[in-house]
Amino acid sequence: MIRDIIEDFASRFAPGSMLIYAGDTGDKWGYFDAALLAGLGVEVDSHGKMPDVVLLYTEKNWLLLVESVTSHGPVDGKRHAELARLFAGSSAGLVYVTAFPNRAVMSRTLSEIAWETEVWMADAPSHLIHFNGERFLGPYHAP
């Protein structure tokens, strides 16, 4: 799923984006450009619960925080709050995405997905599902 996120999701929905972080439960710190993230105002220690993939979409100044449901589960309300705290200092807008291999897997956790997040499926890579809110694929700013 990590490869699908980086190669398929990013190329379609954040073209030209820069990979900041890619890891999973097997290799938590697989790739991490800590200096680039720090330049955006975010410092993460080794105990930080990073999402599976972090992309900087420079054209829009967005940080895409992507969770692969196969490793940690969806971006639910609890995970959304954890990521919001972890990336609170970011000068880039935060976009929360849950990646699924297909709809069948999504259906198992559909009721848990947080509002104002995006859902992407590897078997339908050109589509996104937006969970309500006033915008589609973009950051929400706290009041």
Residues 21-46 have pLDDT tens digits of 998 655 556 889 999 999 999 998 76
Q: Please, which residues have CB within 8 angstroms of residue 59's CB and are 6 or more apart in sequence? A: 15, 16
pLDDT at position 139? 76
| CATH superfamily, domain at 2-73+80-130 | BsuBI/PstI restriction endonuclease, C-terminal domain (3.40.1350.80)
**Confidence bin at 55 (pLDDT 50/70/90):** very high
Over 70: is that where the pLDDT of 142 sits?
no
Q: Please, which residues have CB within 8 angstroms of residue 62's CB and are 6 or more apart in sequence? A: 14, 56, 92, 93, 94, 95, 138, 139
Read off the pLDDT of each residue in 46-73 and give the average, rounded to a whole number.
90
pLDDT at position 5? 96
**Confidence bin at 134 (pLDDT 50/70/90):** low
Q: Which two tokens stand for residue 5?
A: 């996120």
Task: Give the other-Cβ count within 10 Å of 84's Cβ.
Answer: 15
User: Which residues, in sequence order, are bridge partners of residue 19?
Assistant: 55
Q: What is the pLDDT of residues 89-103, one digit of tens each?
A: 999 999 999 999 999
**Confidence bin at 75 (pLDDT 50/70/90):** very high
pLDDT at position 98? 97
Rounded CA-CA distance 75/70 in Å is: 12
Show the 3-state SS of the chain: CHHHHHHHHHHHHCCCCEEEEECCCCCCCCEECHHHHHHCCCCCCCCCCCCCEEEEECCCCEEEEEEECCCCCCCCHHHHHHHHHHCCCCCCEEEEEEEECCHHHHHHHHHHCCCCCEEEECCCCCCEEECCCCCCCCCCCCC
What are the residue ranges spanned by the domains of the chain?
Answer: 2-73+80-130
pLDDT at position 107? 93
pLDDT at position 131? 87
